[in-house]
Each structure stands twice: as structure tokens, then as C-alpha cells.
Chains A and B, each alone.
Chain A
Amino acid sequence: MVPLWMYLLVAAALFAIGTYGVLSRRNAVAILMSVELMLSAVNINLVAFWRYQSPLEMSGQAFAAFVFVVAAAEAAVGLAIIIAVYRSRRSVIVEDVNLLQG
């Protein structure tokens, strides 16, 4: 059986890639995608821990299911906001959206 640490390593790598994406991407949609990568890392963690640590309790799986649902809700709201910005500004590049500065 594949040991637990391998799953955790994959999750940590995904999380790191996601974080790098959020910090380096300029397109708002790409940042949103990077955040989704980070949430996938969380889900891998949760499900792997659930399987290896306490497979008899459902809480880990329930947690992962809730993360899916909430991530979908967050993406829906986020994309709507990004479209609203695009309509008023014709751009979703974060640096172009700069009315608020100080």
C-alpha cells in the first residue's frame, strides 16, 4: 500500500504550486484557478488522513465534501465579480484594475 507521506507530499506540492500561482499570476482568472489548486491540496490531505488515521469516523470525508461545495460556491461568486470587473474595465489583469490606490 502506498504510504501516507506520499499523499501528503503530493498535497504539499500542489499547495506550493497554488501559492506560487496566486503570488505570480497577473490574470484574475488564473489566480482563482491557483486558489482552486490549493483547495485540491486540502482535499487530498483530508481524504488521505481520513483513510489512514480514522477510517471508521466519517468526519474527514464529510469535511472534504463540504470543501468541494464551498469551493464551488466561492468560484461562482468570484467569476461573477470578475465578469463585473471585465464589463466595466475591459480587462481582468490585476495591475490594470487600479482605481483604488494610496
Chain B
Amino acid sequence: MNSGFDFLASLPAIAPEVGLTILAIVILFLDLRLQESQRRNLAIVTGVGMFGIAILYLLLWFPVPLSTAPADAIIGVTAPQSLGAFEGLYWGGMIRHDSLAQIFKVMILCGGALTALMAADTKTLGRKGEFYLIVIVSSLGGCLIAGATDLIMVFLGLETMTIPLYVLAAFNRNDKRSPESGMKYFLFGSFASAILLYGLSLLYGFAGTTSLPGIASYLNSEAFGAHPFAVLVSLTLIIVGFGFKISAAPFHFWTPDVYEGAPTPVTAFLSVSSKAASFALLLRFLLAVFPAGLVIGGITIPDFWAQLVTALAVISMLLGNIVALAQRNIKRMLAYSSIAQAGYTLIGIAALQGAPETSVAAISFYMFMYTFTNILAFAVVVIFSEATGSEEIKDLAGLSRRSPWLALTMTIGLLSLAGVPPAAGFFGKFFLFQAAVEAGLVWIAILGVLMSIVALYYYLTVVKVMYVDHGVDEDKPIPVSSTVGWVLGLSSLAVVLLGTFAVTPVFDWALRGFPSLFGS
């Protein structure tokens, strides 16, 4: 890297964050200016703005490895900004700009944009400017931790993402369930943050530096004198903290209550964005600080975290899928299903040591398709409960005759969650299990497949209720506004494309994640 500080060269690393900050200010002003009746347009401004940021970020600043850059650009004479930006550490080593950060930032931006559009016509959120503002700020935190390479940045990004989520969960004060879910989320979330932070403070203490590459090189060096037990304690605390954030069992207590009580667009948002960002951070953290082959005092540290994560994955898959079978509320069912999905994704983390390249790509791809899939399923729940006031699975009866398109999109979403071929979920699971097999964890891949079959039962039950059962209101179609129609259309298109034509390009993009993780 150049010794001098070059603002333009450093900008790409935080381009989405800068864009989101500007968007947040714009929303704040528009919220003041617009009449109550026009505030619905804020949703469109937020949605289009966030999509715009994602597209610009993709087009302008594709990360280029330093090694393939033209020679004069490395010296720093003329950096061709429009053609791409160089991978590496920026902003005093706080942020890394690389493919892994980019793919996760793009999915967080898409998740936020679709959430804003989805909420446009809801009675409780649609005309509240502050709702859009908080969604933007939370996405900003998510973008920050997708590239964070410093303990301070990790902590700040996590809190910037989570504290707005507490507010969002408690947003609807007229519904008694919403503040309750906010309170539960807050109590568990702040407890988890404190545990994670204690682990981070120990890690800082061992190495005497807050930068992740610095900690890694110190842990690897001869100078490191601390007892391995202390490192294991810190690692355990950190993984427990992350376990709460990604709602992995046995740290999942808050998930069903928060998912059920929070306003549905908020549930959709926190089930995709915060999860994706936390997985990005967990990946980077484990690979950068405790890389494969790190031995301290005779204990192979990566084996320890791999075993811990494997245990979390197995418990999450078993508990999530089996408890989901008994749910009657659709949001609760999706909550347990999201615990199970966290379990599948953790398989990828467990395989990080044996097959790092494939599993990084598999996790990125899984989270990418999961963003659209979950948004799709929750968008249908938003429309349905807005029209009927019900969130019970049995009330979906006859939806295929009542609103055939709505039933079809819900089916696409559920099939993708279940992992049935035409939809994206199939390839998502396929890549994860492939990574596990490559890493020699065949038994966990088999368990994953078995649990997917269990999951198929409860997803298909909903499809059966919609298509076979007869309901009372079958002659009353459910109104779908054009804004939410766009959400449904875009996400179903994304889900179907990610399961068919777009698999190879997106997976190739995701494959660039691991090689870009290290260096300068």
C-alpha cells in the first residue's frame, strides 16, 4: 500500500456506507417535508436508493487483486478508479475491500431495499419516515462488519447493526406483542454482545493490537506466551456471542418470540440482513485470526472451533427442523426454519478448514439466495396478514383459488427454503454439503440431507393447505399493490434464476471470496 493517504483510492472500501449515509440524510429531510399522505413515497426512495447503491458498487468498484493490477497503478501514479479498486486494507486497517465483503454488502443492500418496499403499504410502518431511516442505519452497520478487520470496527459495526434492530422489533407500540419482542430481543442481544465483547477484550490482551491480521501474526509467532486455555476461553466466548447473533441453537431462545412479535417486514429484515452480516464476520474472523494449522501449546486451535461449530450446526438442524413441525403460526414456523437454515450454513463454517475455498463460496451463495428466498416468503405473509389480520397457517387455506399468484410465489419461496431443484435453495444446500464432503465431514452432510427431508414435510404442509384445503373466503381475492408486487416479482425472479441460469456466474463470483481474504 502507499504510504500516503489517498482519499479516492480508499473510497471504494466504504462506498456503500457513504451512499447509505447520504440516503439516510435524504430520507430524514423528505420525512420533514412530505405530508402524511405522501410519506409512502419514502419507501420507494429508500428501495430504489439502496438498489442503486448496490448496482453502482457492483459496476464501479469490482475488487481487483493487487498482483494483476497494472504496474503503474501499484506505484500509485494513476489508479484507474472506474475499472476497479484494489483489494486490501483501507482506512487505517479498519476495513478490507475484497470480493467477500462485496458479495455480502450487495446482499445486505438488497435485503434492506426489498424490506423497505415490502413495508410501503402496511398500516403500522408504511408512513413512518423513521422506519426507513432505521432500516438504512442498520444496513449501514451490516455493510461495515462485512469488511471489518479490526476489533473496534467489528464491535462498532455489530452494535450499529443490532441497536436499530431492537428499535425496529419494538416499533409497533399499538400491538402489545411488538414491545415485548423488542424487550426480549434487547435483553438477549445485549447479553450476547457483552459475552462477545469480553472474548474480544481477552483477544486484544493476548496480542496487544486490535487489528485482526496483527492478532493472527502474533498468535502464530514464537513470542506468544499465553496459556492455550486462555485462548480457548476467548474463542468460546466469541463463538457463543456469534451463536446468539445468527440464532443457532442452543442460543436461539429469543428467535421464535422476536420473529412472531415484531412487525412482519422487520422480521424479514432481521432474518436476512443481520444473519448474512454476522456470517460474513464469523467467516472472516475465524479464517483471519485462527487460520488452519494454528497450534498453541500443543492444541490445534482450528480443530477446537471446528468441533464447537459442528456441535452448533447439528443441534440447530435437529432442533429447528423438529420443533418447526409443530408450529401453527406461519411466522413462528419460519423462525424455527431460520434456526435450521443457520444450522445448514454452519456446516459450511465447520468445513472451512478442510475445504476453505468451496465452503466460503458455498456460505456466500447460500446467504445470497437465502436473502431473496426469505424476503419472498415473508412478503407473502405481510400481504396476507395485512389483508386478513391472521398469521395462522390454517387460514392460508384456499389461497391458490383466492389469489393464485400469491400462492405461487409463496410456493416458490417455500420450495427454495426446502431445497427443491428448480428453486435456488437446491444449489445452496448442494454446495454446502459438497464443501462438507470435500472437508471429510460426510456424516454431517448426510445428517443435513436427512434433516432437509424432515423440513420438506412442514414446508409442503403449507403448500398443501394453500392448494388443497378449502377456506371460507375463497371468493375474496387479496389486494396486492404494485410496490409489493415488484418485491414479489423481483425476489421470485432472483430465486428462480439463482436456481437455474445464474448459478454459475454467482458461484464463480462467490469463489473469488476466499483467495481475496488475505494479503496486504
Contact = CB atoms under 8 A, between A and B. Distances in A.
Contacts of A89: 176, 180
A9 interface: no
Contacts of A48: 205
B41 to A, nearest CB: 28
Contacts of B12: none
B187 A32 contact: yes
A78 B152 CA distance: 22
B156 A102 contact: no
Contact of B166 (A57, A81, A97, A102): A81
Interface of B is mostly: helix
A89 B210 CA distance: 43
B197 A39 contact: yes
Contacts of B210: 59-60, 62-63
Contact of A59 (B176, B184, B209): B209
Interface of A is mostly: helix
Interface string A46-79: 1011000110010110110011001001100110
Contacts of A87: 173
Interface string B359-395: 0000000000000000000000000000000000000
Contact of A70 (B159, B170, B256): B159
B154 to A, nearest CB: 10
A49 B190 contact: no
Interface in A1-60: 8, 15, 18-19, 22, 28, 31-32, 35, 38-39, 41-42, 45-46, 48-49, 53-54, 57, 59-60
B288 interface: no
A23 to B, nearest CB: 9
B205 A66 contact: no
Contact of A100 (B159, B190, B260, B327): B260
A28 B152 CA distance: 28
B518 interface: no
Contacts of B261: 99-100
Given A49-B204, A63-B204, A70-B163, 14 more contacts: A35-B187, A42-B201, A45-B204, A53-B205, A59-B204, A62-B152, A62-B210, A67-B155, A70-B156, A74-B193, A85-B180, A99-B261, A100-B181, A102-B329
7 contacts: A45-B201, A53-B205, A66-B156, A74-B163, A78-B166, A85-B179, A100-B181
Q: Which 4 A-B pairs have the closest CB atoms?
A: A49-B205, A38-B194, A54-B208, A53-B208
